[in-house]
Chains A and B, each alone.
Chain A
Amino acid sequence: MSDLTSAGTAIGGAPVGAEGPVPDAPATGGKERSASLWADARRQLVRDPVFMLAFVYVLVVGSMAAFPTLWTSQDPRNCSTDRSRLAPSGDHPFGFNILGCDYYSHAIYGARPSIVIAIMATGAIVVVGGALGLLAGYYGGWVDTIISRLMDIFFSLPFLLGAIVFLTVIKRQNILTIALVLFLLSWPTIARIIRGSVISSKDLDYVHAAKAVGASNGRIMWRHILPNAIAPMLVYATIVLGAFVAAEATLTFLGVGLQPPEESWGIMISDHQVYFLEDPWLLLFPCGLLVGTVLSFILMGDALRDALDPKFR
């Protein structure tokens, strides 16, 4: 994933707009509307086979990351070079890697770093990016100018190049530093999404009404403006989880991410790329797991967007 921001924004596949001259349903109050929006979205998602399939896949990968022993009793570090690159068999469904370690347990344990990094980095961009976007959009003026310029600066650093620079100079490439770098380079996107959403909902009548009855800024932001921004944030966060999983693997592949003997899908791909012709499964298993995870997150984000955007119904 060389370009996170574009991946997020351009995935919107609008279904064909069937706009008959059907009169709109009578509008109801803001609160009820948002409550029914979430209920409708949930109903639609549960019925969407693509979403459910992706969701199940993510659950499986998540459980691999959280409880690897649930999936395998083998020790991925129990290696012996005389089993190097043995083909898959009943007991060892993914065979053995170049060092003669059980490849299946490797793949199971390899899920954890990717998922942990993705969750940490996503959590951080949601909190920090969300807060900065909220402040910039709500207060405007010089607060907005400063935050927006800051966003411009981080934006102008191409994601992969920035990550390589930081990870090269940091030299301690572990889960924490990789998550930190991903967060640093990605928060502006979510800040920009929230900022736009806040600016558009700031002028809604019920926000003016809340101001008129003397609600505090904090209360207005928390109760009236933030709920409107949650839907786009949720969609983006889902997609970005997938993008981060891919980014971690890419950095690892380039040699600036996780280092062996750590287990990770990126390392598995990078270590075995040259054996593709003789033993393609060494490459295909980790690639399949990785692509499946990224794809699942993207499909979930897509389905979420369609479900949360009344325009697409």
Chain B
Amino acid sequence: MGRYVIRRLLQFIPTVLGTMFLLHYMTSLAIQFSGNPVRALFGDRTPPPALLEAVTERLGYADPCLDQRGNPCFGLFFDRVADVFLRFDFGINLRQREVTELVADAIPFTLKLLVIAMVFEAVVGIAAGVWAGLRGGSFADNLVKISTVFVISVPIFVLGVVVREFVGVKFGNVLRDQAWIPEVISNGMFSPGFKPDYPFASLIIPGMVLGAVSLATTARLTRTSIMENIRADYVRTARAKGLANKRVIGVHTLRNSLIPVITFLGVDIGAAMAGAVVTETIFNVPGIGRLVTLSARTGESSVVIGVVTMLVLVVLVANLLVDILYAVLDPRIRYE
């Protein structure tokens, strides 16, 4: 086990550096080919050269290598790695606020959203998958199979917009007309967007939207996995041992079937973070995702890169933990 963890850690380091270099090189290339990104910040106005230079310097775009097309700018890259790992510095925005600070302000909302989404997709997804998987070919099975294809086919932003308008606005308006319904439900939960007065209730529906696509995937994965395992020889052995059906399913089948599902859920934390970009934009949640979109729209690439670098590190650590969790769950991996 220890050796496995060490090997995974050793593989982890080049991946982290490689991913950071990829981000760095893409942005360098973009600057080398399309010119100083700072200029774009001023829109149609021509900034005074002194101001332009000052901002460029501050954002770290002054390095001459950014004028040479194709130059990988290793010097800048090493500075950046040192900034990130030694000084925990992910850059600054135009108003000279640290990206880390911006993220610190935004992260509580995103975390809440993620927790709601993950709980929703894990609980409902696994339950639906088990329900369908144990009754292969039945009505329940077909219902889950068909409805999940539909959910997977709806891009999350379409789902988000439709839910916001239908549930948040239309249905919410109906609720808000009824005096007997508590405020927290009519104004909080069923609001068309995030409300600071109801920091948790108003995130429930956005969280469910965020979790919806992965919920469908989770349900399908659980279903297939259960169907494969329910016919496995060791499940037959468990029956031959005279164990109760509850134990045959609940211990001998589920334990094995959930290994790929739990792995998926772990990896999905990263995907959910990316999905939060869309959900937060639609529901106006002041989290990290909206920070990324707003910065992208105003062309503040330094913020986008800083935040994404941070998120990628989180995703990579999450993946590493999932790998280790996988080894804990499946002894066959451990002793490879």
Asked if A and B touch directly (CB within 8 angstroms), the answer is yes
Listed in ascending order, the chain A residues whose CB lies under 8 Å from chain B are 1-3, 6-7, 10-17, 19, 149-150, 152-154, 156-162, 164-172, 242, 246-247, 249-250, 253-256, 269, 273, 276-277, 280, 283, 287, 290-291, 294-295, 298-299, 302
Q: Which of B213, B267, B296 has the most CB of A within 10 A?
A: B296
Note all chain A residues with C-beta closer than 8 A to B34. 170-172
Is B30 close to A, CB under 8 A? yes
Stretch at the interface among B74-82, B88-96, B243-251, B271-279: B271-279
B274 contacts A2, CB within 8 Å?
Answer: yes
Listed in ascending order, the chain B residues whose CB lies under 8 Å from chain A are 11, 14-16, 18-19, 22-23, 26-27, 30-31, 34, 37, 40, 136-137, 145, 149-150, 152-158, 161-162, 165-166, 169-170, 213-214, 217, 220-221, 223-224, 227-228, 231, 264, 267-268, 270-275, 277-278, 281, 292-293, 295-297, 299, 301, 304-305, 308, 311-312, 315-316, 319
Task: List 13 A–B pairs whose Cβ atoms lie within 8 Å, in order of A's numbering.
Answer: A7-B217, A156-B315, A157-B23, A161-B292, A161-B308, A164-B293, A164-B308, A169-B31, A171-B40, A246-B155, A277-B170, A290-B155, A302-B149
A161 contacts B311, CB within 8 Å?
Answer: yes
A195 to B157, CA, bound (A): 33
A27 → chain B closest CB, angstroms:
23
A164 contacts B296, CB within 8 Å?
Answer: yes
A161 → chain B closest CB, angstroms:
5
A176 to B157, CA, bound (A): 23
Note all chain A residues with C-beta closer than 8 A to B301. 165, 168-169
A14 to B222, CA, bound (A): 11
A253 to B18, CA, bound (A): 30
A272 → chain B closest CB, angstroms:
9
A272 to B11, CA, bound (A): 47
A17 to B231, CA, bound (A): 9
Note all chain B residues with C-beta closer than 8 A to A162. 308
A155 to B274, CA, bound (A): 13
Residue in contact with B165 in the complex, picked from A157, A159, A166, A276, CB distance below 8 Å: A276
Note all chain A residues with C-beta closer than 8 A to B308. 161-162, 164-165
SS of B interface (majority): helix
Chain A residue at minimal CB-CB distance from B150: A295
B231 contacts A19, CB within 8 Å?
Answer: yes
Residue in contact with A295 in the complex, picked from B153, B169, B217, B296, CB distance below 8 Å: B153
A13 to B152, CA, bound (A): 13
A283 contacts B293, CB within 8 Å?
Answer: no
A3 contacts B214, CB within 8 Å?
Answer: yes
B43 → chain A closest CB, angstroms:
13
B213 contacts A254, CB within 8 Å?
Answer: no
Note all chain A residues with C-beta closer than 8 A to B153. 242, 246, 291, 294-295, 298
Residue in contact with B157 in the complex, picked from A152, A269, A299, CB distance below 8 Å: A269
A-B complex: 10 closest residue pairs judged by Cβ atoms: A158-B274, A2-B275, A169-B30, A295-B153, A3-B271, A276-B165, A153-B18, A160-B274, A16-B136, A246-B155
Note all chain A residues with C-beta closer than 8 A to B157. 249-250, 253-254, 269
A13 contacts B220, CB within 8 Å?
Answer: yes
B131 → chain A closest CB, angstroms:
14
A188 → chain B closest CB, angstroms:
12
Note all chain A residues with C-beta closer than 8 A to B30. 166, 169-171
Note all chain A residues with C-beta closer than 8 A to B150. 295
Chain A residue at minimal CB-CB distance from B270: A158
A150 to B274, CA, bound (A): 21
Chain B residue at minimal CB-CB distance from A292: B153
B169 contacts A154, CB within 8 Å?
Answer: no
